[in-house]
Amino acid sequence: MTWIPQKTVDGSFTFFSEEFGEAFHSHQGAKSEAFEKFAQVTQLADRALGDRIRLLDVCYGLGYNSAAAIETIWRVNPDCKVELYALEIDASVPIGAITPELLTSWPPEIQTILRELALTQTCHRPNLTAELLIGDGRQTVQTLSAWGFQADAIFFDPFSPRKCPQLWTVEFFKVVSACLDPNGRLATYSRSAAVRSAMMAAGLAIGSITASDSRSNQWSNGTVAAWSGDLLPGLSEMEQDHLETRAGIAYQDPGLVGTAQEILALQNQEQERSQRRSTSSWRRKWGLESNQKSPIYES
């Protein structure tokens, strides 16, 4: 497949997926999103003071989250050893992302790593062991879980829940969370109540990623999760209330093989049977206008 770069506000590029009807990154900035919502939220600069960091990148895509993580870590400590596993279903995406136009914003060493991962799915340095696992993430992550891999940071970056519910289910989060170190953090751009409920059902504590701008519809920039909520930024009263609406009914995929249509239909059935308040009533309660709704974050 040929991927056509689209420039975002911060000057970096992303791709648009015709299959999912969405871009791979925020229009506000593909590269800045990788640093702000993933590398910073998972506290990689602090963790880099140690001698090793293990990373799991769920939905590698163009490789920006992994690239931002490695750049952040080695800027603090060039000798810190990084162990990276990245999951991606479509090998053509990382290959499409290694054109000069997309690579030049990264340091030369990061450019070389992105090329090697895209072309060979592996990359080895004295301070880096990286592997790109191609296939359905619901299956490839089980390989990592079986190995006993434990990540200090997990970047959770699939397409939006309504477009790709397969990767936002309770069952998938249970397998992914099995790969999270007891002191690790998982970060995602999604603030969806269904997603947060799924994380909690998997045993994780959750917190809100504080919005970086003053736009009224950006009441959260995503979700951070860990095994203990002691050091996480708490949810606002409004966000906690959101979880109690029908929107907070999690996606389910018992066999980890369901189609998007099957998973959405199952959630819809649960919502129709539920006695919970509607999301529209929640929006009215908190003064959120209908034209502020973002399906990427709130589905």
User: 19 CB contacts (<8 Å, ≥6 apart)?
Assistant: none
Domain 30-289 listed as CATH 3.40.50.150: yes
Q: pTM of the full predicted structure?
A: 0.94
pLDDT in tens, 6-37: 999 999 999 999 999 999 999 989 999 999 99
Rounded percentage of the chain residues whose pLDDT exceeds 90? 90
Name the β-bridge partners of 123. 130
Find the largest Cα–Cα distance for the chain. Answer: 57
Task: Please state the rounded mean pLDDT for residues 49-63.
Answer: 98
Enumerate the domain spans of the chain: 30-289
Helix (H) or strand (E) holding 271, with range, is: helix 260-273
- Read off φ and ψ for residue 40, nearest 5 degrees: -75, -45
Q: Is a pLDDT exceeding 60 seen at residue 216?
A: no
